[in-house]
Amino acid sequence: MKSKTLQTLKTFYIPICIIISIIVIIYIIHSIYKSNNKSINKFEDIPATTALPLPTPMSIPSEAIVQQCETSDNVVGFCLNYTGCCKQQASTNNKCFCDHPHIQDCNNIYDECIKTTPNSPDCKDKLKECCTSYNKINIDINNFDKPVKQIQNSRKICAIGTINGLSTDSVRLKCMELCQTNTNCKAFTIDSASCMLFSDISPLPTKLPGKNDITTDYYIKK
């Protein structure tokens, strides 16, 4: 009887153990699959490697943009476009314009305005108002003594060469204008199609020995 009971238990126990083992194996396989699936999902969340967009370049300050100087003999034009005419395209021939007190004063006003109120349109309006006021100055030959044939080699402010093929008379008028409106100018000379401005007339120029063929006209401001 006891042997029969034991045989009966074995008959039930063995299948149960097999079933339990199968369940455990299935559970283990399921756990491994679930774990791997999570890892895969994590990688799927990472976007594929692509070329990153280039950073947006910083805006270039307006003064760094090359501006064309569209004048060669107009004080107001130089004044309104000081950056293009004097800073970016500076030349010896522009010195009489770029160093002119009126142009310097107007652009100093503009610079101070920009420092106080950056990007304000009022600053450009102030610059324009200041620059164009130059046109109100009356240029008069009577502000100069009658010219003499003289040469001066000292106290030079600046010189102007040939300006876009202007005639000698046109250059004479331009130099007279620049000297009259420049408080630092005391005299100027004109020879052919070029001229020179001077900050002083001392020592008073005289004809050079053996140089009686001087053709340079010398104007002294009154």
Q: All domains of the chain, ordered by start, with CATH? A: 67-136 (no CATH), 141-220 (3.50.4)
CA distances from 119 to 27, 81, 87, 116, 153 (A): 72, 17, 20, 10, 45
Question: Would you write out the chain's pLDDT as a tens digit for each of its 222 residues?
Answer: 545 554 554 565 566 667 777 777 777 776 766 655 554 444 344 444 444 343 333 333 344 344 678 888 899 999 999 988 888 665 667 889 999 999 999 999 999 999 999 888 899 999 999 999 999 999 999 999 999 888 888 899 998 876 656 677 888 889 999 999 999 999 999 987 688 999 998 666 555 555 567 788 999 999
Cβ neighbour number for residue 222 with a 10 Å cutoff: 7
To the question of pTM greater than 0.75 for the whole model, the response is no
